[in-house]
Amino acid sequence: MPTPHSPTQNHLLAALPAAEFGRLSPHLELVAMPLGEALYESGGHLQHVYFPTTCIVSLLYVLEDGASAEIAVVGNEGILGISLFMGGDTTPSRVVVQSAGHGYRLKAQLLLQEFNRAGPVLHLLLRYTQALITQMSQTAVCNRHHSVEQQLCRWLLLSFDRLSSDSLT
């Protein structure tokens, strides 16, 4: 029997104090995230932020010639669209669903309003952003200095950490 969907399957949403969660939860919209769907394109304007619950999403840096490299993965621990509250309304990366599932989306303006209250949401999202920057740094070092087998192991571990089951498809 499938597990019912809940916003608290996302660790950031689950970590919000009751008052902040109460302000945001009526506006959270459950969305399917099929394999290969592009949630954002590089340079695109952010209309929504996404909180994955049962999917894994890749952040890709796209070069002028169309080639790309994965710079981070986000799953139930995070949020997609951090450039919104870090001072921009466009995203520098392409964001593509790597492992199908679900998540919740929220209108960008609503998250920005909550962030600008300078309370718990701001502090939680800045801590998450620091963790994401750390992941990006580790990915850069791994891609430069580790073997392909080591890179695959790292990717598998990152993926398993973000899945609610022990199967990776």
48-52 sheet: strands from edge to edge: 29-33, 101-107, 48-52
Residue in the structure block whose two tokens are 């993926």: 159
Least confident of 56-60, 66-70, 126-130, 139-143: 139-143
Q: What pLDDT score was predicted for residue 152?
A: 67
User: Does residue 168 register a pLDDT over 80?
Assistant: no
User: Does residue 141 register a pLDDT over 80?
Assistant: no
Name the packing angle between helices 148-161 and 120-145 (round to 10°). 160
Task: Give the 3-state secondary structure of residue 139.
Answer: helix
pLDDT digits (tens, 9 = 90+) for 57-80: 999 988 888 888 888 899 999 999
**Do 53 and 9 touch, CB atoms closer than 8 A?**
yes
Query: Domains of the chain (ranges plus CATH)?
Result: 7-161 (2.60.120.10)
Percent of the chain scored above 70 by pLDDT? 86
Which pTM was predicted? 0.87
pLDDT digits (tens, 9 = 90+) for 76-98: 999 999 999 988 778 888 999 99
SS3 for 114-134 is: HHCCCCHHHHHHHHHHHHHHH
Using only the alpha carbons of the chain, give its radius of gyration.
16
